[in-house]
């Protein structure tokens, strides 16, 4: 049956994660001979714990937390370069990867799912020296996301990001980007760039319906000059999952890209909900890089 490590972020889910620890340990004890529990206390703990577990030869690593905890765990496993399976119980505000692979958002149901889960292939992305499982954003919204408080997330949930993002786009600042996407070079002024690995962005599950977690592709959406009229045109397309056909964006399906800011601006990026690397960016996909526990029907 092997051994596994369980990484718990005690502050996730409004500090409710520890309340599900007993149930999760009981479930994992049915699947593995040895279960090691690690509790995070600071940034990068989950990354370190996952890396250590992989190097010790553990068969699987699980985590209980939000998108940030999931991202850190994946970064630790990817850096180790070992054949280790991954599982998680979503306990964050957005939980994009859980939505993409069909894991229940209710912790008790997500834990119960593990009793008959299947291991499915999962693509991950790499941006500079960081790995990601959901998305990379640059421009207006990443700056706004940095301003979202814990209180806002608790009160409004994923809507908090949309509210701040809407304010940022309303007061947009255009940036001149230089792109090379699968060998095609072009320049575009834009207030916002989004790169998606899965269908779900900021809990909006119909954002990129054609995206699959194991199709070996990423999707890039480069917003053109954005105003109130554009937003009124774009909203119905977003709801219908038709953003790729909108004349307000440039859409690319790709495997490798480099992006630079033409005038050398110090723009921040956002990777899976947390602050990411600075420009220039090199982004690539790592197809079927890891196996993840998901509902058998996924």
Residue 61 or residue 168, greater confidence: 61
The answer to whether residue 227 is domain-embedded is yes
- Confidence at residue 156, expressed as pLDDT on a 0 to 100 scale: 44
**How many domains are contained in the chain?**
2
Same domain, 150 and 272: yes
Segment among 38-47, 80-89, 243-252 with least mean pLDDT: 243-252
The answer to whether residue 130 is domain-embedded is no
Calculate the average pLDDT of the chain: 86
Q: Domain span at residue 112?
A: 3-124+289-294
Residue 231 or residue 287, greater confidence: 287
pLDDT in tens, 165-191: 555 555 567 899 999 999 999 999 998
Same domain, 179 and 253: yes
Cα–Cα distance measured from residue 117 to residue 86, given in angstroms and rounded to the nearest whole number: 12
Cα–Cα distance measured from residue 61 to residue 32, given in angstroms and rounded to the nearest whole number: 11
Q: How many CA atoms are closer than 13 Å to the CA of 129, on its beta-carbon side?
A: 2
Segment among 58-62, 91-95, 164-168 with least mean pLDDT: 164-168
The answer to whether residue 129 is domain-embedded is no
CATH of residue 96's domain is: 3.40.50.10330
CB atoms near residue 146 (< 10 Å): 12
Cα–Cα distance measured from residue 260 to residue 188, given in angstroms and rounded to the nearest whole number: 11
Q: How confident is the model over 11-34, as a mean pLDDT?
A: 92
């Amino acid at each position: 049956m092997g051994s596994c490590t369980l990484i718990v972020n005690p502050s996730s889910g409004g500090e409710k994660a520890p309340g599900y620890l007993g149930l999760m340990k009981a479930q994992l004890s049915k699947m593995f001979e040895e279960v090691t529990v690690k509790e995070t206390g600071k940034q990068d703990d989950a990354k370190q714990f996952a890396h250590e577990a992989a190097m010790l030869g553990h068969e699987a690593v699980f985590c209980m937390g939000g998108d940030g905890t999931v991202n850190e765990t994946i970064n630790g496993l990817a850096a180790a370069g070992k054949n280790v399976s991954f599982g998680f119980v979503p306990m964050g505000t957005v939980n994009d990867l859980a939505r993409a692979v069909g894991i229940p958002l209710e912790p008790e149901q997500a834990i119960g799912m593990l009793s008959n889960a299947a291991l499915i292939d999962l693509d991950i992305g790499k941006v500079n020296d960081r790995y990601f499982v959901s998305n990379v954003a640059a421009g207006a919204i990443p700056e706004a996301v940095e301003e979202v408080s814990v209180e806002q997330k608790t009160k409004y949930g994923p809507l908090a990001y949309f509210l701040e993002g809407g304010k940022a786009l309303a007061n947009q600042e255009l940036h001149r980007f230089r792109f090379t996407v699968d060998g095609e070079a072009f320049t575009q002024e834009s207030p916002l760039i989004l790169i998606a690995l899965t269908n779900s962005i900021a809990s909006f599950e119909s954002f990129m319906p054609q995206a699959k977690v194991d199709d070996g592709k990423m999707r890039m959406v480069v917003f053109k000059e954005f105003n109130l009229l554009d937003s009124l045109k774009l909203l119905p397309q977003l709801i219908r999952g038709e953003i790729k056909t909108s004349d307000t964006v440039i859409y690319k399906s790709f495997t490798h890209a480099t992006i630079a800011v033409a005038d050398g601006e110090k723009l921040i990026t956002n990777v899976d909900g947390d602050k990411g690397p600075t420009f220039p960016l090199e982004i690539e996909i790592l197809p079927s890089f890891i196996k993840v526990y998901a509902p058998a029907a996924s």
